[in-house]
A and B are shown apart, each in its own frame.
Chain A
Amino acid sequence: MEVRLEGLTKQFDETVAVDNLTVTLESGKLIGLLGPSGCGKSTTLYMISGLLKPTKGRIYFDDDDVTDLAPEKRGIGLVFQNYALYPHMTVLQNILFPLENLRINRKEALARAVEMAELVGIKELFDRKPSQLSGGQQQRVAIARALVKKPRVLLLDEPLSNLDARLRLQTREEIKRIQREVCITTIFVTHDQEEAMSISDEIIVMNKGVLQQKGAPQHVYNHPINLFVSKFLGNPPINTFEGSIKNGKIYVGDVELGVTKFKDQDVIIGIRPEDFRVDENGFMVKVDEIDCIGRDTTLHFTLGGKHTRALIPSDSVLGNPEYVHISVKPDKIHLFNTDEAGELVNE
């Protein structure tokens, strides 16, 4: 089912947690809602779930306006950041709890619980209490509980943030698999860009309650529409320089990086570390440090007074050179306005 938000706004006393958010979440996709902490991701999620009432704006599930509908009438499944499993109930009772409210007869409810438990792989844990489970297992129970009433949308609030690094990798594959199997529109909140990029079909980047960009992860990564998005995605982060355009050429200080069709102006230049390459015809930099990690090598140097990282194939440099000639791959230079919004330069 498709979820459509129109001009969604939420104001708490002074703070505007979500500001005029208009976005369409396509049916059956796994959508990553990404942004730094406190940018209003959870608030957005809770508004979609109905736990919070929007100050302004509408929420549509397909063509139904659900803005004023109570949470239980919306058909959503919500997994909380710390899972919120009822500590006094066993795993089975936890999974059955949503069904008890729907007055489904016991036999069918059990069948459904078993089905869900098999889906998330926790069937042998039915009689345990949540306190006897590991973080990853708790999380699967929480997902099973959210899915057991066959919701139309699954909402996950930072589902991986309470897990350790190894489990996180494993669980995110698991979430992706479960989503593929039940084929349900899933919104997945995270502040970890790598997490969002690796499992989402689409990502939505937010900052300070405002939608920044929406699109396929790779597309957003390659074509960030503003400085914030370009900085937020990518690890190691993008290199930024204060530069200028003169006569169709891009300069940082007096180093020429490439050509452009835009008019002369001051710009912020963004270059991803992997978009540098070793090139005899490029400009020369003094290498501050060189880290060779297997296939890739990180060159550290100073450009335009700024510490810069370049990620290049290990076989393109030999030994520990003091100076390297490098250039930027064509069309990989991102030019942003110098104002606060930092939009892409478009003239």
Chain B
Amino acid sequence: MSKSKVMWKRFRERLAEIRWEVRRRYYIFKENVNKKTAKPKAAVKGFFKKYLVQPFKKYICNPIKNGYVKFTKTKVGGFLHKYIFHPVAYFFNRFVFRPLGQVFNRNFFHAMIYLLPALILLCIFTFYPIINSIILAFYKNYTPVDKMFDGYTLDNFRDIIARPGFVAALRNTAIIVFISVPISVIISLFVAVMLNSIKRLKSFFQTIFFLPYVTNTIAIGLVFSYMFDYRYGLINKALKVLGIAAIHWKDAQASYFNAMTTLMIYIIWGSLAFKILVFTAGLQNIDKQYYDAAKVDGTTRWRIFRRITVPLLSPMIAYITITSLIGSFKTYTTVVAIYGEEGRTAGGKDLRTIVFYVYDYIMGGKALNPGELSRGAAASLILFGIILVFTLIQLYVSKKRVHY
């Protein structure tokens, strides 16, 4: 043998040795890992494995597998396997079963056990009614008495939109939402900042600003009704002192503008309390040193407010804006508190909101008429859609502007 061949042989022998060594170490390593991760439940698991899993594999899985392997050896089988079965199986495995397995893992079932009581209640009182009312909105001539209906239709939505007053209701709701929410957020932000900066009597003023929150809406509405009364009201008396002629705020001669203004003042005032509370809490969480640092740099109060307070408070502002936006799309009680259940001034000015529509269909005995309940459901679905759209817009905007 030549010298090079001997060397080559030795080299290969050495290589084989190394491979055996690596394999040996790998098994030792694996064994150790298994020992470490072995669970106390292993005995139970072992039982299942021995008497259930392994026989299943041996007598059912393996024959099938072997059969399939044989099948793929044939010409047709090989073709089908290569171009159809294997890709399809791969696809399901990769994009369906594996992701599902990642979601429905052990943690998922643990979480489910804890969530179950809440989920059951939610299903009964929230999800089921929601789904039901969505379906209800598409029934044709549904009567709650005998639960009969003539198929499905979109007419309910058309009826609602076509019904006189619906556009007015939309307009009223929009005015209330887009004027009262920004104004009340801004006012309460300023009030909270003021409250935060005073030293004496702080808690006294905080209590005063919080009082409306714990007072009944209808009661406040009554008081407002008296205050805005044309002849005896406090507001007009005050205006008189200032030399301004009395204004028809909410009576029969009141214009739509005046009636809406009165309502708006009432809504804004009533919603300030909670916002101020949240903002004051938020302000107290801002480190005082930011303000000291700003002061050393000669920042004006307005700039401090704009560049430091507002950004640091932005999560709170976003939260408050979204919740009160949703809340005021659902305005109902406040209108009733001032203008009664009809939602109109004595002079016939219409101040009803969308929620009035929902109530209109399902209350007052009319609900038993064919199709009425479905129209109410359709109205609430429309309201839901509008709220959803605006909430999504809000979330999108705040993702860009809010600093968490």
* Chain A residues with a Cβ under 8 A of chain B: 46, 49-51, 70-73, 76-78, 80, 82, 84, 86-88, 97-98, 100-102, 149
Does B312 touch A at the CB level, under 8 Å?
Answer: yes
B293 touches A72 (CB 8 A): no
Taking the complex as formed, is B290 at the interface, i.e. its CB lies under 8 A from any CB of chain A?
Answer: yes
Assess the A51–B403 pair: CB atoms within 8 A: no
Q: A97-B307, A101-B303 are in contact. Are A88 and B296 (CB under 8 A)?
A: no
Do A84 and B297 contact each other (CB < 8 Å), given the known contacts A97-B307, A101-B303?
no
The answer to whether B290 touches A72, judged by C-beta atoms less than 8 angstroms apart, is no
Which residues of B have CB within 8 Å of A51? 292, 295-296
The minimal Cβ–Cβ distance linking A193 to chain B, given in whole angstroms, is 26
CA distance A78 to B296 in the complex (A): 7
Given A72-B295, A72-B298, A78-B296: A88 and B289 within 8 A (CB)?
no
Inter-chain CA distance A82–B287, complex, in Å, is 10
Give per-residue flags for B289-327: 1 if the beta carbon is below 8 A from chain A beta carbons, else 0: 110111111111001000110011010000000000000
Contact of B297 among A72, A82, A87, A88 (CB under 8 A): A72
Q: Is the CB of A87 within 8 A of B299?
A: no
Identify which of B289, B297, B311 contacts A98 (C-beta below 8 A): B297
**A84 — which chain B residues lie within 8 A by C-beta?**
287, 289-290, 292-293
Expressed in whole angstroms, the Cα–Cα distance for A80 and B255 within the complex equals: 58
Cβ-defined partner of A149 (8 Å) among B297, B303, B308: B297
What are the residues of chain B within 8 A of A78 when measuring CB–CB? 292-293, 296
Measured CB to CB, the closest approach of chain B to A235, in angstroms, equals 31
Residue of B nearest to A81 (CB): B289
Whose C-beta in chain B lies nearest to the C-beta of A52? B292
Rounded to whole angstroms, the CA-CA distance of A102 and B308 in the bound complex is: 17
3 smallest A-B Cβ distances: which pairs?
Answer: A72-B298, A88-B403, A84-B289
- Cα A77 to Cα B300 in complex, Å, equals 17
Beyond A84-B287, A86-B308, A97-B307, whether A71 also contacts B296 by CB under 8 A is yes
Residues of B in contact (CB 8 Å), total 19
Instruction: Determine the residue in chain B with the shortest Cβ distance to A76.
Output: B296
Identity of the chain B residue whose Cβ is nearest the Cβ of A151 in the assembled complex: B296
Interface centre among A49, A71, A73, A82 (most CB of B within 10 A): A71
If the complex has contacts A72-B298, A97-B307, are A87 and B312 also in contact, measured as CB distance less than 8 A? yes
Taking CB atoms and an 8 Å cut-off, the chain B residues in 91-117 that contact chain A are: none
Residues A101 and B299 in contact, CB atoms below 8 Å apart = yes
Q: Is the CB of A80 within 8 A of B292?
A: yes
A84-B290, A97-B294, A100-B303 given. 8 additional CB < 8 A pairs?
A: A72-B296, A73-B298, A77-B296, A80-B289, A86-B290, A87-B312, A97-B299, A101-B300
Most chain B CB neighbours (cut-off 10 Å) among A71, A73, A88: A88
- Taking the closest CB of chain A, its distance from the CB of B301, in whole angstroms, is 12
Interface string of B107-129 (1 = CB under 8 A from A): 00000000000000000000000
Q: Indicate which residue in B289, B307, B312 contacts A82 across the interface (CB closer than 8 Å).
A: B289
B295 x A71 contact (CB < 8 A):
yes
Asked if B403 and A87 make an inter-chain contact with CB atoms under 8 angstroms apart, the answer reads yes
Which residues of B have CB within 8 Å of A149?
Answer: 297
Determine the distance from Cα of A49 to Cα of B303 in the docked complex, in whole angstroms. 21
B311/A88 in contact, CB under 8 A: yes
Contact A102 B298 (CB under 8 A): yes
How many angstroms from the CA of A46 to the CA of B299 in the assembled complex? 17
Given contacts A88-B312, A88-B403, contact A80 B298 (CB under 8 A): no
Q: Which A residues lie within 8 Å of B289 (CB)? A: 80, 82, 84
**Distance from A242 Cβ to chain B, minimum over Cβ atoms (Å):** 45
Within 8 A of A (CB), among B332-367: none
List residues of chain B with CB within 8 A of the CB of A77.
296
Enumerate chain A residues within 8 angstroms of B292, measured Cβ to Cβ.
46, 51, 78, 80, 84
